[in-house]
Amino acid sequence: MEKKIILSADSTCDLGQELIARYNVVTVPLHIVLNDKSYDDLVNITPDEIYQNFDKTGKLPKTSAVNCQEYIDRFKPYVDEGYEVIHINIGSALSTSYNQCCIAAKELGHVYPVDSCNLSTGSGLLVIEAAERIKAGMCAEDIAKEVQGLACKCHGSFVVDKLTYLRAGGRCSSLAALGANLLNIKPRIDVNNRDGSMSVGKKYRGKLIKVLETYVNEQFEQYENIARDRVFITHSGVDKEVLDFVYDLVKSKDYFKEILITRAGCTISSHCGPGTLGVLFMTE
């Protein structure tokens, strides 16, 4: 008799409630520590509340991984009921969550962690790939292996409008942030899909909407074998005019069967701040 499968993911997959419901995903929240109080990502705190706190205090929250016991507590009831669990983690270079999940999996059995080697909807792409394989009737272990192999085909990057949050979080110097903001420089952050590490790519200059036009065109032009099923436009809070512009630009390419717009959760947003946007997709 085939085992039933639970599809689970770290909250950092940023799929949004509609897609989480569509693909029957259970999410495990990472933690947000703000003003000495711990919150669960998107459960009892929102990105806008983080932004409001930063505007008032100039302080950013700290984020922390899910620990082994939390994964055990979350997965054990499913395993006890005869389910197998596939869990998609945020990239291992970005968080210890994957390693903690692996420890929990060894203790429980029937749990298959996947290192997405990505963040946000770069991980979300793999969640959907897993969901489609569950629907097709594959077994959990085979799905996890196959989806792990797809991580290197997920491409994630973001353009950051202002460096204020990166500076406050210690990810760039005050002088560099000031210079970039004065010169209207907007860096592209690239995700290495071998481990999830991030680096600064091209540095654009100009108004956000024009920068995003160049960015989107460049992202699609560098790949000849783009997977046509879907693309994510994921943002941390941008003006509707900007979002509509990017959507229309992506749609004009006539590449994708589905264009999905999601907003990043607290973990991602607390690092980059408002005004950040990326296109995330897969190659064949």
Dump pLDDT digits (tens) for 64-108: 999 999 999 999 999 999 999 999 999 999 999 999 999 999 999
Q: Which of 152, 182, 197 is the last residue of a domain?
A: 152
Region 172-185 average pLDDT: 50
Statement to judge: residues 122 and 230 lie in one domain:
no
Confidence class for position 168, pLDDT limits 50, 70, 90 = low
Is a pLDDT exceeding 60 seen at residue 181?
A: no
Same domain, 10 and 147: yes
Same domain, 81 and 98: yes
Question: Domain with 38 in it: what CATH number?
Answer: 3.40.50.10170
255: domain CATH number is 3.30.1180.10
Residue type at 126 in one-letter notation = L
Residue 176 pLDDT greater than 60, yes or no: no
Is residue 171 predicted with pLDDT exceeding 60?
no
126-161 pLDDT, tens digit per residue, is: 999 999 999 999 999 999 999 999 999 999 999 999
The answer on pLDDT for 2 being more than 70 is: no
Range of the domain at 46: 4-152
Asked if residue 244 and residue 140 are part of one domain, the reply reads no
Count structural domains, the chain: 2
